[in-house]
Structure 1
Amino acid sequence: MNIAEVSKKYEISADTLRYYERIGLIPEVNRNKSGIRDYTEEDCRWVEFIKCMRSAGLPIEILIEYVTLFQQGNETIEARKDLLIEQRKQLIEKMENVKKTIERLDYKIERYEQSVVTKENELKRTDD
């Protein structure tokens, strides 16, 4: 699969894919005889993984560290697992903060809705 196809499939710009490869976020992609990137299924799994992790807010630096550890082989399994556990913990904390923020927004919205209803009722009484 060429870079345009991968870009379309995963809704990531070709520039972003090149950048991810350049900084080591995804392993180097093989090229065909013409020098055009030729993404394998394995490459696409990396793109999908990185897209998922980035959309969840994981920092690029953490993901580069993960990929580097992965490339070092099985002796880094425990370190990779620990890294993912820490990121999961941080995501859960973010989720809890987002949940609190949503609850506060809901409260504020409800107060404004009550205010509007109260104001409408006051206007109706003055019109009578």
Structure 2
Amino acid sequence: MNVSEASKKTGVSTDTIRYYEKDGLIPLIDRNESGNREIDEKIIRRITFAKQMRAAGMSIKALKQYINLVDDSEDNTVSQKQLLHEQVEAMEERRDDIQFAINHLNYKLEHYDDHMRATEAELHELERK
């Protein structure tokens, strides 16, 4: 399939696919006799993986580091697992921060009338002075 079809299939823009290839996040894509990229399922899986990791907050630098470990001919299982573990920890921290903010907003919504009444009473009191 060509880049446009791969873009539709993965939900990743054609520019991003080209960037991923240029930056080494996906393997170099074979080209047909006309010079157009011919993307196979292996590349689609790599594009999808990169998209998922980026959506989860993994930096380009960390993603490239992980992919280089995967593509290396040596067994880098320990390094790969360590990098993934670090990413999970970072994502869990972001999740916890987001959950704290959600909980705080829900608290404010649940007590909105109470807070508003108190605020309005304070304003009226200030106006009387």
TM-score (norm 2): 0.83
Identical-residue share of aligned pairs (%) = 39
* Structure 2, unpaired ranges of 5+: 121-129
Aligned residues: 119
| Cα distance in structure 2, aligned partners of 1:114 and 1:8 | 50
Deviation at 1:84, TM superposition (A): 0.6
AA aligned to 2:36 is: I
Give me the CA root mean square deviation: 1.8
* Partner residue in 1 for 2:110: 110
| Cα distance in structure 1, aligned partners of 2:113 and 2:71 | 55
1:21-32 alignment to 2 at 5 Å? 21-32=21-32
Q: What secondary structure is seen at the aligned counterpart in 1 of 2:48? A: helix
Deviation at 1:101, TM superposition (A): 0.9
AA aligned to 1:63 is: L
Report Cα offsets for 1:60-91 as digits up to 9, x if no partner: 10001111111112421221111111101111
* Partner residue in 1 for 2:123: none
Q: 1:2 to 1:117 in 2, by over 3 A?
A: farther
TM-score (norm 1): 0.84
* Partner residue in 2 for 1:58: 58
Q: What secondary structure is seen at the aligned counterpart in 1 of 2:76? A: helix
* Partner residue in 2 for 1:124: none
AA aligned to 2:18 is: R
* Partner residue in 2 for 1:73: 73
| Cα distance in structure 2, aligned partners of 1:89 and 1:74 | 26
1:1-128 alignment to 2 at 5 Å? 1-114=1-114
Q: What secondary structure is seen at the aligned counterpart in 2 of 1:29? A: coil
Q: 1:46 to 1:113 in 2, by over 3 A?
A: farther
* Structure 1, unpaired ranges of 5+: 120-128
Deviation at 1:24, TM superposition (A): 1.0
